[in-house]
Amino acid sequence: MGAADLQCNPALASDTELLLGLARAFHAEDGHPLSPEGEAALSGITLGEPMARCWIVRRAGQAIGYVIVTLGYSIEHGGRDGFIDDLYLVPSARGGGTGAAVLDFALEQARRTGIATLHLEVDPKNDRATALYRSHGFAENGRCLMSLRLRAHG
Protein backbone atom coordinates (compact mmCIF):
# COMPACT_ATOMS: atom_id res chain seq x y z
CA MET A 1 0.00 0.00 0.00
CA GLY A 2 1.41 3.35 -0.99
CA ALA A 3 0.85 6.97 -0.18
CA ALA A 4 -1.91 7.32 -2.77
CA ASP A 5 -4.41 5.54 -0.54
CA LEU A 6 -3.79 7.82 2.47
CA GLN A 7 -6.15 10.54 3.63
CA CYS A 8 -5.13 13.32 6.00
CA ASN A 9 -8.19 15.11 7.30
CA PRO A 10 -8.30 17.99 9.79
CA ALA A 11 -9.15 16.72 13.26
CA LEU A 12 -12.63 17.82 14.30
CA ALA A 13 -14.36 17.91 17.67
CA SER A 14 -15.98 14.59 16.74
CA ASP A 15 -12.46 13.10 16.44
CA THR A 16 -11.40 13.99 19.99
CA GLU A 17 -11.69 10.49 21.50
CA LEU A 18 -10.03 8.92 18.47
CA LEU A 19 -7.17 11.42 18.66
CA LEU A 20 -6.77 10.88 22.40
CA GLY A 21 -6.55 7.12 21.88
CA LEU A 22 -3.86 7.50 19.22
CA ALA A 23 -1.95 10.02 21.34
CA ARG A 24 -2.09 7.77 24.41
CA ALA A 25 -0.62 4.93 22.34
CA PHE A 26 2.11 7.19 20.96
CA HIS A 27 3.09 8.64 24.31
CA ALA A 28 3.09 5.22 26.01
CA GLU A 29 5.30 3.81 23.24
CA ASP A 30 7.58 6.83 23.57
CA GLY A 31 7.96 6.25 27.31
CA HIS A 32 6.12 9.27 28.67
CA PRO A 33 2.41 8.71 29.29
CA LEU A 34 0.05 11.40 28.08
CA SER A 35 -0.73 13.78 30.95
CA PRO A 36 -4.15 15.27 31.69
CA GLU A 37 -2.75 18.60 30.48
CA GLY A 38 -1.67 16.97 27.23
CA GLU A 39 -5.14 15.49 26.81
CA ALA A 40 -6.67 18.93 27.39
CA ALA A 41 -4.31 20.44 24.82
CA LEU A 42 -5.31 17.82 22.24
CA SER A 43 -8.98 18.48 22.94
CA GLY A 44 -8.29 22.18 22.47
CA ILE A 45 -6.84 21.53 19.03
CA THR A 46 -9.98 19.68 17.90
CA LEU A 47 -12.02 22.64 19.17
CA GLY A 48 -10.08 25.14 17.06
CA GLU A 49 -6.90 26.15 18.92
CA PRO A 50 -5.44 28.81 16.57
CA MET A 51 -1.78 27.96 17.28
CA ALA A 52 -1.97 24.30 16.23
CA ARG A 53 -3.16 22.16 13.35
CA CYS A 54 -3.92 18.45 13.54
CA TRP A 55 -4.76 15.90 10.87
CA ILE A 56 -5.98 12.35 11.35
CA VAL A 57 -4.25 9.94 8.94
CA ARG A 58 -6.51 7.28 7.49
CA ARG A 59 -6.09 4.37 5.12
CA ALA A 60 -9.21 2.70 3.70
CA GLY A 61 -11.29 4.69 6.18
CA GLN A 62 -9.36 3.41 9.22
CA ALA A 63 -7.42 5.83 11.43
CA ILE A 64 -3.76 4.84 11.41
CA GLY A 65 -2.17 7.92 12.93
CA TYR A 66 -2.04 11.66 13.25
CA VAL A 67 0.26 14.64 12.79
CA ILE A 68 0.28 17.95 14.66
CA VAL A 69 2.01 21.15 13.57
CA THR A 70 2.18 24.02 16.05
CA LEU A 71 2.85 27.64 15.14
CA GLY A 72 5.37 30.10 16.52
CA TYR A 73 7.37 33.16 15.53
CA SER A 74 11.13 33.52 15.36
CA ILE A 75 13.36 36.49 14.62
CA GLU A 76 16.29 34.16 13.92
CA HIS A 77 14.24 32.19 11.40
CA GLY A 78 12.67 35.20 9.70
CA GLY A 79 9.13 35.15 11.00
CA ARG A 80 6.63 32.37 11.37
CA ASP A 81 8.12 29.06 12.40
CA GLY A 82 6.52 25.81 13.39
CA PHE A 83 7.08 22.58 15.21
CA ILE A 84 6.00 19.08 14.27
CA ASP A 85 4.82 18.34 17.77
CA ASP A 86 3.57 14.82 17.13
CA LEU A 87 3.77 12.50 14.14
CA TYR A 88 2.48 9.06 14.96
CA LEU A 89 1.56 5.98 12.98
CA VAL A 90 0.28 2.78 14.54
CA PRO A 91 2.96 0.06 14.30
CA SER A 92 1.11 -1.90 11.60
CA ALA A 93 1.09 1.20 9.35
CA ARG A 94 4.83 1.81 9.46
CA GLY A 95 7.08 1.08 6.54
CA GLY A 96 6.38 1.16 2.85
CA GLY A 97 6.67 4.94 2.67
CA THR A 98 3.69 5.82 4.85
CA GLY A 99 5.73 7.93 7.28
CA ALA A 100 7.42 9.72 4.39
CA ALA A 101 4.05 10.48 2.82
CA VAL A 102 2.67 11.88 6.08
CA LEU A 103 5.81 13.96 6.56
CA ASP A 104 5.51 15.29 2.98
CA PHE A 105 1.90 16.22 3.76
CA ALA A 106 2.95 18.04 6.96
CA LEU A 107 5.68 19.94 5.10
CA GLU A 108 3.21 21.06 2.44
CA GLN A 109 0.71 22.19 5.09
CA ALA A 110 3.50 24.10 6.89
CA ARG A 111 4.41 25.87 3.63
CA ARG A 112 0.75 26.78 3.01
CA THR A 113 0.57 28.23 6.52
CA GLY A 114 3.53 30.51 5.79
CA ILE A 115 5.99 28.72 8.06
CA ALA A 116 9.55 29.69 7.12
CA THR A 117 11.32 27.13 9.31
CA LEU A 118 9.94 23.89 10.69
CA HIS A 119 11.43 22.20 13.75
CA LEU A 120 10.92 18.82 15.35
CA GLU A 121 12.19 16.77 18.23
CA VAL A 122 13.16 13.12 17.84
CA ASP A 123 14.35 10.57 20.35
CA PRO A 124 18.05 10.07 19.55
CA LYS A 125 17.55 6.29 19.94
CA ASN A 126 14.86 6.25 17.24
CA ASP A 127 17.13 5.59 14.28
CA ARG A 128 14.28 4.94 11.87
CA ALA A 129 12.57 8.29 12.56
CA THR A 130 15.88 10.14 12.56
CA ALA A 131 16.73 8.70 9.15
CA LEU A 132 13.31 9.67 7.79
CA TYR A 133 13.65 13.25 9.00
CA ARG A 134 17.20 13.57 7.69
CA SER A 135 16.09 12.24 4.30
CA HIS A 136 13.64 15.16 4.15
CA GLY A 137 16.31 17.75 4.93
CA PHE A 138 15.98 18.10 8.70
CA ALA A 139 19.33 18.48 10.46
CA GLU A 140 20.62 19.00 13.95
CA ASN A 141 21.23 22.70 14.44
CA GLY A 142 23.96 22.48 17.04
CA ARG A 143 21.68 23.77 19.74
CA CYS A 144 20.17 22.09 22.75
CA LEU A 145 16.41 22.21 23.21
CA MET A 146 15.69 23.47 26.72
CA SER A 147 12.32 23.87 28.42
CA LEU A 148 10.84 25.62 31.44
CA ARG A 149 7.30 24.81 32.54
CA LEU A 150 5.51 28.08 33.40
CA ARG A 151 2.28 26.45 34.46
CA ALA A 152 2.18 23.64 36.99
CA HIS A 153 0.68 20.27 36.10
CA GLY A 154 -2.65 19.37 37.67
Stretch 102-119: mean pLDDT: 96
Stretch 123-145: mean pLDDT: 90
Which of helix, strand or coil describes residue 60?
coil
Nearest alpha-carbon partner for 99 in 12, 2, 27, 30: 2
Strand-by-strand arrangement of the 52-59 sheet: 6-10, 52-59, 62-74, 79-89, 117-120
User: What domains, with CATH codes, occur in the chain?
Assistant: 3-135 (3.40.630.30)
Tens-digit pLDDT profile for residues 30-65 = 888 999 999 999 999 999 999 999 999 999 999 999
Tens-digit pLDDT profile for residues 82-108 = 999 999 999 999 989 999 999 999 999
